[in-house]
Structure 1
């Protein structure tokens, strides 16, 4: 009887999640109902699955009473609204009907076409129009009119009574009870961005839109029994049982065959390409590699994942071949020698003894996934290739579902209640929590918050996940078209996996852009071709490893942050395998558990390692008894606790946040403890092993992932070591990395390059380098309009260098404001005139409300020259201008702003000689990191440059630090004690203050 049920996926409208709807229906004895969310089918497949799941599970009460839990018959559809007005809702007769509805909605979403007043002709869909007194539509065979019990009196003498077979019971379901109706009102107010009291009645649901027993609903239509019969007949005609068998694992929905001829040819093709790649990677007769390759191919073929590998290979081949793009294949896919031979990844799994079962094993129920990184400005090209290659409705981006967050909910509720901003701000201030709890208004907000938290708020797009489907994706979901411009499914990665999809991750990162552009610049500037994939040479290069050991790889991917630099130095890291380990133990979980410190200690004294037990020694000897990688979690769960590989991998996956069933996770944890006890381990030992697993697994990398990062780090390190100027220019042009832009400009200057301020006759949009001269690009100039950022270099390239100010103005059609900005920065210094003279001159051309010509003059008419008095200019004035317009002074150190000439008692490179001493230093602020202590107080880690341009680091403990110690950019006087941790010196700060500077003379005047 319930043809129009809304879940919370009817965003900011429905109030119940799908499990709650099904549970409520079962409690009321309802046997079938139709989920019809508004303009989406996000929950359709989840609803079908949930009905089956709750029908199979037997509750204790059911068993005691001798009842056999039944399965509610799930029927799905979509409600179509335009501008908050209900047009009609469609009910799928079967899978084909759901596809029709999804494709109808998808077409209008993707083409941005408003939904029509009349539904189109559907073959497998029932359409229900809402009843009205003036209903005059001519109904098609599959179309009906839904009538609420409150509308029955309007049927008197209505012409629709002549079409009794077209009238059905319409009892929409939106809320659970009166309390959730109030929640519905809040949601509507938030959606309409208005006060709770201002929401129009016709924008809300009726107050009785909740589930009631079927028999009660039927009695409301006693005078019109044919409506009940029509409704029953309609629902009985629907059958979606072909979607899933209750309780069974869904079959893979990914594209099953890469070749048109089918899976048999896929197997032959994958084998041929893999063995060709094997020869490229290992030579002709490497028996170990051949044996490993055969093992993997056997499992891949058994699991029918050949197409998955071939599709990924095709993407990489297109990127490397036609586009000449550089990529990094990372994640668990790098555990596979097949992936290595297909050049999906550059990580050698034999060299690293990578655990293939982390990626794929015979018991795995879902396909593996590859993470392929491209440069930030090249990823879209690859995405467009994928969407062009595969048919419409067979390829889409993965979606995400954002939920209402705690502080955001409080703000939203406060706004619809009409509270002033100051009061709302106070309610979201964590330091006033106790005070707020005494406030009755805040208590009211909290009551609403309890109902609203974690509810779906809006659909969005996944960072890079793409689904490529065997059958049309529209059997399972409608598609949106977010601002990115690619069709996107209406559910997230968890639902995708539950349906049977595994994503292809096409991602981006700046580090690849650094490498790509550096190689190009080296070719342009030095005429050298660099084989950046010659990793085997890089990892044994003594010069690279020496720099790695010193911990100063600024600009290099993943290893430049203060924490990573410290770790590299503490480990005295000088080889690839140690870097792989460092890439994982730097993660928060390892550090917070104390395992990072344990690893460093054991790394330096491996003969003193005491292992927890024999199994831990056997499985973790390579990492000195410390879990470093995700694979270690699997190995410990398997060999220590006795879980099978499938359960071990599921537990690992659950702990990394990719498993959303809390109940299933708790069952696995219990299974871990029970199984470990059965292995004969003591409770104390089991508890300690579990502590290490649980504190680490959620933040860890797979070893293959760490290895992929380490490869890219070595490539960056090679370029910085042997071609530092070009590399640092590439870093600047690809939006830097961990640090602010000025740090990379400083690093470029340290290479010996002569770095120039922007110049209209030499600068391009981005930084360029010719020989030893590098010119800052116009992109970095604050306030410069985009048309001049690109237009000035373009005009110069087309018509040659600018000869003087007048010609520059005429050729670029620049405005007075923009020209003043460029003059102040010194970009017209080629004229030989000082800035203040040029600022005077510019008014001859553009000042005094003169109308600027809109086209090039036929004759070159020169302006009259005036003799000006000498105008003073100072270095510090220029430095302040650069600070304003670039964000940093180029040729004027921050130390030169100081009123004092004092630069500290010592420099950073001498700290190791003064361990235990209290010293004074002066440092230029680079960055900071705030952390919370176990007592919930704050402490900070700071990074500074000394007057010589060398890095040093500080620690600010709560008892020696004000509430917030830093005051932004500038130089600080630091008093502290020199401490050393595994050979890395730093300062424990006792006193700390920002030093006074000379003011801008222009501002003083």
Structure 2
């Protein structure tokens, strides 16, 4: 179900209804399970997680069949063989599915050839003597018939068999999206109407909020948060200043009103765990540094009142999205902190977030070169002429004279680029978001499509934007090499000393010499201060202490 969010968005952009589901193989039958309502969606989440975790069985299918539509594929070899050899046995199997899914079980008719028409008619005759319904169920794998070559190239890339060389430069396939007029020639009016009725009967909305704020394990999060902040304000000697007490009361009122007391307690807890376990944590970045509550909870180390930072940039009563506190950890220990969160709240409540890498211009050339066995030096010649990696092949042809000249010089190069442009922009592989982690009050397998990594940890199959749209809490655990370098440097300085010279957890930030160094533009290797743009800003601002 990796592609569901993008599919839903496109359908909505086109103002078309949508239906979501996935295909599974069960007892050699190919079952397509579709979501009919919210209950069905939550059941499908459990089924698909179990299916990809190799814990799926018939009992689980029975338990979570409600709210799902099941269409059995009749065009696969196993079904065809059983239909030809033992229709009585087939009927018993179909009857079990019909009972299981009640009024939501269908036989999917798929026709892609003249032989398929005869087979479809035989299935229709079979159904007239049994209590099953057929639906128009064409297998659509590409938009236009000549897009079959794109699928062939992609499958060859996935195959990664160097001896399997693709020869066809163009293909015409049957698994394309036809017009209703053409479908009406293949399927009966009743089958098309049944297919449409299935879609019309769907009440599921992908955009429903399914995430729940993770609860911190205390009886009263609001009371605990207020107590921790008041105690810290007193310990820092700030409780006698009206500006601090007023600001704290205002922030607490906003946080509690928006329902985020647990969130702040969760973040302060894993930050405290890191510091207590000798893991260096960043002083704070982004708008979270404008929060006095964050400062009092030792999530950040910047006094927002002293530095005149605004809380509203971070959180305000009109904000529609979850708060976002980015926390930097030593890159060698970042995963230790995430593992602490898993152990504390349960593995089923924590998940990493998937990312997708698309095929860029140079990669498309390399992939086409491999699957068609083009000489590597010819591919290198084309790749080197792509002097701007941000441009697509089409834009490169328009804007890069060297690339245009090479492509125009020979039909051979034009053919390579034409093939490469067909796969450019498609998703090639997935990865993990470098920082984002989902935290949820209930088990994630009940509300989110998940896969499982080699360590048994959950990974969301939906990307970050769609996760946040559905109300899931995302926390950024950032791995920062600079913190690891700092920790090692301080450890080396303190090595062999009776008393530490520097406390790496209490490094002062307001020393005159530090600002003089920054103002001198000697910022190479200093996190976020070494880029040319920041150096220009430093020259203008001339920071001082």
Q: TM-score range by the shorter chain?
A: 0.7 to 0.9
Give the corresponding residue for 2:392.
none
The answer to whether residue 41 in structure 2 is matched with residue 87 in structure 1 is no
Which of 46, 58, 75 in structure 1 is aligned with 2:19?
Answer: 75
Give the corresponding residue for 1:258.
216
8 Å Cα contact 1:165/1:230 also seen in 2: no
Offset, 1:353:
1.5
Change (3 A) 1:209 1:236: same
- Corresponding pairs, count: 496
Structure 2: state its 5+ residue gaps: 83-88, 388-401
Q: Distance in 2 between matches of 1:296 and 1:102?
A: 38
Give the corresponding residue for 2:227.
272
Change (3 A) 1:287 1:118: closer
Which of 162, 165, 190 in structure 1 is aligned with 2:132?
Answer: 165
Offset, 1:462:
0.6
Q: Distance in 1 between matches of 2:146 and 2:60?
A: 35
Which of 71, 75, 81 in structure 2 is aligned with 1:134?
Answer: 81
CA-to-partner distance for each residue in 1:36-89, whole Å, 9 max, x for gaps? xxxxx223345445544543xxxxxxxxxxxxxxxx33221012369xx98332
Give the corresponding residue for 2:68.
125
TM-score, normalised with respect to structure 1: 0.45
Give the corresponding residue for 1:435.
406
Give the corresponding residue for 2:118.
153
The answer to whether residue 202 in structure 2 is matched with residue 238 in structure 1 is yes
The answer to whether residue 502 in structure 2 is matched with residue 534 in structure 1 is no
Give the corresponding residue for 2:44.
101
Offset, 1:290:
1.7
8 Å Cα contact 2:21/2:33 also seen in 1: yes
Offset, 1:396:
0.7
8 Å Cα contact 2:524/2:530 also seen in 1: no
Based on CA coordinates, which of the two structures has the bigger radius of gyration? 1
Alignment of 1:411-426 (within 5 A): 411-426=366-381
Q: 1:339 is paired with a residue of what secondary structure?
A: helix
Structure 1: state its 5+ residue gaps: 1-40, 56-71, 245-249, 553-558, 565-582, 604-621, 624-709, 711-1005
Which of 411, 432, 435 in structure 2 is aligned with 1:464?
Answer: 435
Offset, 1:457:
1.7
Change (3 A) 1:601 1:227: closer
Change (3 A) 1:601 1:398: closer
Q: Distance in 2 between matches of 1:589 and 1:550?
A: 15
Change (3 A) 1:133 1:42: closer
The answer to whether residue 149 in structure 2 is matched with residue 182 in structure 1 is yes
Give the corresponding residue for 1:220.
186
CA-to-partner distance for each residue in 1:400-440, whole Å, 9 max, x for gaps? 11111110011111222221112111121127522233222
Give the corresponding residue for 2:460.
489
Change (3 A) 1:447 1:436: closer
8 Å Cα contact 1:461/1:482 also seen in 2: no
Q: Distance in 2 between matches of 1:601 and 1:345?
A: 27
CA-to-partner distance for each residue in 1:289-344, whole Å, 9 max, x for gaps? 222222222222233222221221121133234x3433224333222111111111
The answer to whether residue 41 in structure 2 is matched with residue 43 in structure 1 is no
Q: Distance in 2 between matches of 1:119 and 1:266?
A: 37
Q: Distance in 2 between matches of 1:236 and 1:99?
A: 20
Q: 1:156 is paired with a residue of what secondary structure?
A: helix
Change (3 A) 1:551 1:92: closer
8 Å Cα contact 1:401/1:457 also seen in 2: yes
Q: Distance in 2 between matches of 1:522 and 1:387?
A: 34
8 Å Cα contact 2:108/2:135 also seen in 1: yes
TM-score, normalised with respect to structure 2: 0.79
8 Å Cα contact 1:165/1:226 also seen in 2: no
Offset, 1:584:
5.7
The answer to whether residue 234 in structure 2 is matched with residue 317 in structure 1 is no
Q: Distance in 1 between matches of 2:132 and 2:336?
A: 54
Alignment of 1:311-350 (within 5 A): 311-321=266-276, 323-328=277-282, 329-350=284-305
Q: Distance in 1 between matches of 2:491 and 2:534?
A: 38
Q: Distance in 1 between matches of 2:202 and 2:514?
A: 68
CA-to-partner distance for each residue in 1:386-409, whole Å, 9 max, x for gaps? 222334543211111111111001
Offset, 1:509:
2.2
Offset, 1:144:
3.4
Q: 1:385 is paired with a residue of what secondary structure?
A: helix
